Structure 1
Amino acid sequence: MSGANASTKASFEGPLLALDRLHVTFGDTVAVNDVTLAIERGERVALVGESGSGKSVTALSILRLLSDAQVSGSIRFNGEELLTKSEREMRGLRGSDIAMIFQEPMTALNPLYTIGDQIAETIVIHDGVSPLEARKRTVALLARTGIAEPEKRVNSYPHQLSGGQRQRAMIAMALSCRPRLLLADEPTTALDVTIRAQIVELLLELQRDEAQKRGMAVLLITHDLNLVRHFAQRVAVMEKGVLVESGPVEQLFASPQHPYTQRLLESRPERTVMPVMPIAPVILEARDVSVDFRTKLPGMGGWFRSGRFRAVADADVSVRQGETLGIVGESGSGKSTLAMALLGLQRTATGEIDFQGKALRRYRGREQTALRSNMQVVFQDPFSSLSPRQTIERIVGEGLALHRPQLGAQGRREKVISVLREVGLDRTVLQRYPHEFSGGQRQRIAIARALVLEPRLLVLDEPTSALDVSIQQQVLKLLVGLQQKYNLGFIFISHDLAVIGAMAHRVAVMQNGSIVESGDVEKIFAAPGHPYTRKLLKASFAT
């Protein structure tokens, strides 16, 4: 950079980042519509809105990372127009002056290189230091972001790290060249509540430290309103590519002006479940359920010896008709493994599991086929659990073809149309494919597929974690209504305690494969007895 430019850069006193009538289109589709937004040095600004609102497109526009997009308006960073810079000039800015933390670090990190090599490479490219010096700085960065044993972890590949560790490595990479603007795109969405709280506190600590040194600002992109309240100083709300409202966090949360902002703030899980009838029969009861997996452990002389990993230990659970049992805990606590065992889908499970008064192991032949129709599951990600090659009619009706062959083609179609209507979809969706629907619509289709067989028990494995807050509320209301109408038993697995508080009658808290506390959800949430439950509740409602 020339001396004149350097002088201008140093003396500029306007906003660090200024978007003026930013307009982004992909063909005929308008993704961002005349957005104007300024961020001052050292400021923490949150950009909120639902999926498709234009949040991430706005952030990627700042870094000029959009392909096949037409971008107009103005993006000024420290007084310099970014839209007129060459690609070479932008490469000099990316990482060094403007850095980004992506939502899913497993896809953002290169699986073929250690995290140490990836962070050090950034330092070498932008700062021109020796590889040895870059490695020293990398270890220091990993230590600063709270990764234990940084000298050891620097040699780890992404798949060898937990989700929280990978996100910390991404933060270390983003801070490696001491940027003045940090773009954080949904940095905590895929994390457990306790890890999410740790990452938020880490970002706050690092931003305050860097703000004092270099005036680093943060643009946080999220749909998590609790996170916004805890982290940001100012918030801007986007709807369908338009910036509809902005202001200080306290003011906007206390008195939102735009109807969309009001709707977002009101889209919090509300408890609408009905009490379970005292005479309601137990439909599922499990005692001393354990699940072991074989593992390979390093032995003498480079050989491996067999080991055993206990994923679930001596779990006791029960579900009554019309009741929801919530199962909570962090990733790896054994929630989903326990659910699969209760469904009879874990061959290594031991213990006693009774469904409608009969042991699962005693179901044979036609009885076992009927059992499968009475126990259904809805998974976290409906896009990966729905076949992309099948129409909605075939996806929802597939179970009927197997379990109700006597209906015939016309009978199956009528049943499919009826259950789709129950979840808020009409017959026009029958010949369409999963990719043609939003996340909320796909989850409704997954629920319809499970309900079409009229089950007695429905296992819901993180069914709303991938959904926006307003869509999440719609799905939860749908599930409550269906439970009340058909007297269904639910096993609801989640790490979102607000959702469990709204949906569950009873809750089981899992840690390291064991149920450490269980009972009435309202009583446990009001006065948790186990330290781990208290930790989960504190982390859940702190961010």
Structure 2
Amino acid sequence: MSDAMQSQAADRTQHGPLLEVERLRVSFGETVAVNDISFSIARGERVALVGESGSGKSVTALSILRLLHDAQTSGAIRFDGVDLLTKSERAMRGLRGSDVAMIFQEPMTALNPLYTIGEQIAETIVLHDGVSAADARKRAVELLGHTGIAEPGKRVNSYPHQLSGGQRQRAMIAMALACRPRLLLADEPTTALDVTIRAQIVELLLQLQRDEAQKRGMAILLITHDLNLVRRFAQRVAVMEKGVLVESGPVEQLFEAPQHPYTQRLLQSRPERTVVPVLPIAPVLLDARDVSVDFKTKLPGVAGWFRSGRFRAVDAATVSVRQGETLGIVGESGSGKSTLAMALLGLQRATQGAIEFQGRALASYRGREQTTLRSNLQVVFQDPFSSLSPRYTIERLVGEGLALHRPQLDPAARREKVVAVLREVGIDRTALYRYPHEFSGGQRQRIAIARALILEPRILILDEPTSALDVSIQQQVLKLLAGLQRKYNLGFIFISHDLAVIGAMAHRVAVMKNGSIVESGDVEKIFASPVHPYTRKLLAAASGGENSLL
């Protein structure tokens, strides 16, 4: 190659796009997930990829890292001028984590359950930076602190199952940022985070990008359904629908004057308050008084030994839910929301206090009565992938409760009920014979909701049920839940970090901080005039400059 040609190649590498995707097509057998899309990302640029669940956003990101081993991929993915589709697997292993890193959507499936969080972050640093184990551990503690995890020196020794969903998400972010990548693929990086930590993570990413601007020019591809986040964070946005890129452009231009009908529909979707007042004579379904939950833990002692201690996750919480009422529970990750929910379900052994369902203590239910109790108290867990067995088809997963609690139904009748409830949450009957891994994160969340709803429970506990859903599907699911509540007089306990969702769904709200309920009452009154400083802080972080969340 002549000197002139080498100079031209170097100039393209230095000044051309950092990432260039050209006519990318990804298919799984006869199913086309991504169809002929093209876009580019400049050095130091922040680009958002938005669209409904199943639109191909995550498939696009995974294709960049060549992590779709069962897919047929064509087109070109050029990183720094080199087509990644032509690189060897060994070369890709050297690229992943160091030059291109990814924050995965579901941290529980991405983190190794056999190693501590600190070991997993440090491993990345040692492999790519070649530093000592001690230095890598020190860096891991710093990263955990930067992402907002309290007591990072202690949490660095925790295993994934010992952290809340939001804490696991932050650990994933710390791992992705460990080697200061040139391109960060962030697949729903703030999905499980409360509003205050979400703002911290956004500022952290921006600060890291500013710090690296003169060195490597880190670019970020943000995959999200959070349009408020897109508007605050991204410079350009690309909209995908059913595997096709339908519209792209500068953020302000696209938000102010969207051209495609699908983009217009996305921007118009937001939670609408459809709450029906609870009847004054409505009975109390669930009543919990002075509920506390303690966990055994290890505390540092003398001479490097540990002594036994106790950690209070929930401290003297008192809540109640009436027929047809929705109680919202809000608070930061690790505040005790999910632990309180497990205690109310009778699934938390280390529980103190009184919990009654329809005037009867949970502990008094035995034998067949306990089976009936379980059908009346249902839950939708925060992480749908870990709560859905990978070995069962969707028909078996959703219909499992019917087989146990409605044995009088024959297989044909059970199937029709499964099809009906799947249709209500936006899943086609073709899903019956498929498995959880064949669906996107948002689709799995809807399947989990269908599984809980099929038994028509009296109380439904929803632990972040819309966290993985895009705005349009979120609106559909919220309307579905509201309709079911009116039809069957269901009581809901709605746990969420999305205060706009709580404002749309809840009659009353309880605000939790460090295991305690610091404020509770009518949601409209508290959102309009919060008393506790912590509540005011949450509302300020969530409003984003709007006058009201209701």
What range is the shorter-chain TM-score in? Answer: 0.7 to 0.9
C-alpha distance in structure 1 between counterparts of 2:390 and 2:85, whole Å: 38
Question: How far has the Cα of 1:375 moved from its partner?
Answer: 2.5
2:127 to 121, 126, 141: 121
1:280 to 282, 297, 300: 282
2:208 to 180, 185, 206: 206
Q: Match of 1:220?
A: 222
Larger Rg, first or second structure (1 or 2): 1
Q: Match of 2:416?
A: 417
Q: Match of 2:355?
A: 353
Tell me the amino acid that sits aligned with residue 289 of structure 1. V
Whether 1:263 aligns to 2:269 is: no
> Secondary structure at 2:178's aligned position in 1?
helix
Aligned residue pair count: 532
Q: Match of 1:11?
A: 11
Tell me the amino acid that sits aligned with residue 524 of structure 2. E
Tell me the amino acid that sits aligned with residue 223 of structure 2. I
Whether 1:172 aligns to 2:169 is: no
In the alignment, is the contact (CA less than 8 A) between 2:422 and 2:428 conserved in 1? Answer: no
Distance 1:330 1:413, change over 3 A: farther
Q: Match of 1:45?
A: 47
C-alpha distance in structure 2 between counterparts of 1:119 and 1:421, whole Å: 49
Question: How far has the Cα of 1:261 moved from its partner?
Answer: 1.5
Question: How far has the Cα of 1:269 moved from its partner?
Answer: 1.8
In the alignment, is the contact (CA less than 8 A) between 1:114 and 1:156 conserved in 2? Answer: no
Deviations 1:414-452 (A, max 9, x none): 477357535636996797465376666655554455445
Question: How far has the Cα of 1:323 moved from its partner?
Answer: 0.6
Distance 1:2 1:120, change over 3 A: farther
Question: How far has the Cα of 1:480 moved from its partner?
Answer: 0.5
Q: Match of 2:186?
A: 184
Q: Match of 2:472?
A: 470
> Secondary structure at 2:466's aligned position in 1?
coil
Distance 1:499 1:166, change over 3 A: same
In the alignment, is the contact (CA less than 8 A) between 1:237 and 1:244 conserved in 2? Answer: yes
Tell me the amino acid that sits aligned with residue 312 of structure 2. R
Which residues of structure 1 form unaligned runs of 5+? 125-129
Tell me the amino acid that sits aligned with residue 11 of structure 2. S
Deviations 1:44-82 (A, max 9, x none): 111122333222333344444543444433334444555
- State how 1:88-487 maps to structure 2 within 5 Å: 97-104=99-106, 111=115, 113=119, 115-124=121-130, 138=139, 142=143, 145=146, 159=160, 162-163=167-168, 166-175=171-180, 179=182, 181-300=183-302, 305-363=307-365, 367-387=369-389, 399=401, 402-403=404-405, 408-410=408-410, 414=413, 417-418=416-417, 421=420, 424=423, 432=433, 434-435=435-436, 446-487=448-489
Distance 1:262 1:295, change over 3 A: same
C-alpha distance in structure 2 between counterparts of 1:155 and 1:318, whole Å: 36
> Secondary structure at 1:424's aligned position in 2?
helix
Question: How far has the Cα of 1:229 moved from its partner?
Answer: 0.8
Tell me the amino acid that sits aligned with residue 263 of structure 2. T
Distance 1:221 1:455, change over 3 A: closer
C-alpha distance in structure 2 between counterparts of 1:137 and 1:357, whole Å: 53
Q: Match of 1:127?
A: none
In the alignment, is the contact (CA less than 8 A) between 1:423 and 1:478 conserved in 2? Answer: no
Question: How far has the Cα of 1:507 moved from its partner?
Answer: 0.6
Question: How far has the Cα of 1:29 moved from its partner?
Answer: 3.3
Question: How far has the Cα of 1:171 moved from its partner?
Answer: 4.2
Tell me the amino acid that sits aligned with residue 241 of structure 2. E
In the alignment, is the contact (CA less than 8 A) between 1:145 and 1:172 conserved in 2? Answer: no
Percent of paired sites with the same residue? 72
Tell me the amino acid that sits aligned with residue 268 of structure 1. R
Question: How far has the Cα of 1:396 moved from its partner?
Answer: 5.3
In the alignment, is the contact (CA less than 8 A) between 1:114 and 1:155 conserved in 2? Answer: no
In the alignment, is the contact (CA less than 8 A) between 2:144 and 2:170 conserved in 1? Answer: no
Distance 1:399 1:174, change over 3 A: same
C-alpha distance in structure 2 between counterparts of 1:450 and 1:423, whole Å: 11
Tell me the amino acid that sits aligned with residue 206 of structure 1. L
Tell me the amino acid that sits aligned with residue 420 of structure 2. R
Tell me the amino acid that sits aligned with residue 294 of structure 1. K
Which residues of structure 2 form unaligned runs of 5+? 546-550
Distance 1:92 1:484, change over 3 A: closer
Deviations 1:109-128 (A, max 9, x none): 6637453342133123xxxx
1:491 to 490, 493, 503: 493
Tell me the amino acid that sits aligned with residue 185 of structure 1. D
Question: How far has the Cα of 1:298 moved from its partner?
Answer: 4.6
C-alpha distance in structure 1 between counterparts of 2:109 and 2:442, whole Å: 23
Tell me the amino acid that sits aligned with residue 212 of structure 2. E
Aligned alpha-carbon RMSD (Å)? 4.0
Distance 1:526 1:212, change over 3 A: farther
The more displaced of 50-59 and 315-324 is 50-59
C-alpha distance in structure 2 between counterparts of 1:518 and 1:510, whole Å: 9
Question: How far has the Cα of 1:18 moved from its partner?
Answer: 2.8
The more displaced of 148-157 and 70-79 is 148-157
TM value normalised by structure 2: 0.82
Distance 1:15 1:378, change over 3 A: closer
C-alpha distance in structure 1 between counterparts of 2:327 and 2:232, whole Å: 30
Tell me the amino acid that sits aligned with residue 356 of structure 1. Q
Distance 1:38 1:106, change over 3 A: same
In the alignment, is the contact (CA less than 8 A) between 2:321 and 2:492 conserved in 1? Answer: yes
In the alignment, is the contact (CA less than 8 A) between 2:327 and 2:494 conserved in 1? Answer: yes
2:534 to 529, 532, 535: 532
The more displaced of 95-104 and 481-490 is 95-104
In the alignment, is the contact (CA less than 8 A) between 2:101 and 2:176 conserved in 1? Answer: no
> Secondary structure at 1:265's aligned position in 2?
helix
C-alpha distance in structure 2 between counterparts of 1:525 and 1:100, whole Å: 36
Distance 1:339 1:416, change over 3 A: farther
Tell me the amino acid that sits aligned with residue 292 of structure 2. S
> Secondary structure at 1:276's aligned position in 2?
coil
Tell me the amino acid that sits aligned with residue 352 of structure 1. A
In the alignment, is the contact (CA less than 8 A) between 2:274 and 2:505 conserved in 1? Answer: yes
Q: Match of 1:57?
A: 59
- State how 1:58-97 maps to structure 2 within 5 Å: 58-84=60-86, 97=99
Question: How far has the Cα of 1:256 moved from its partner?
Answer: 1.5
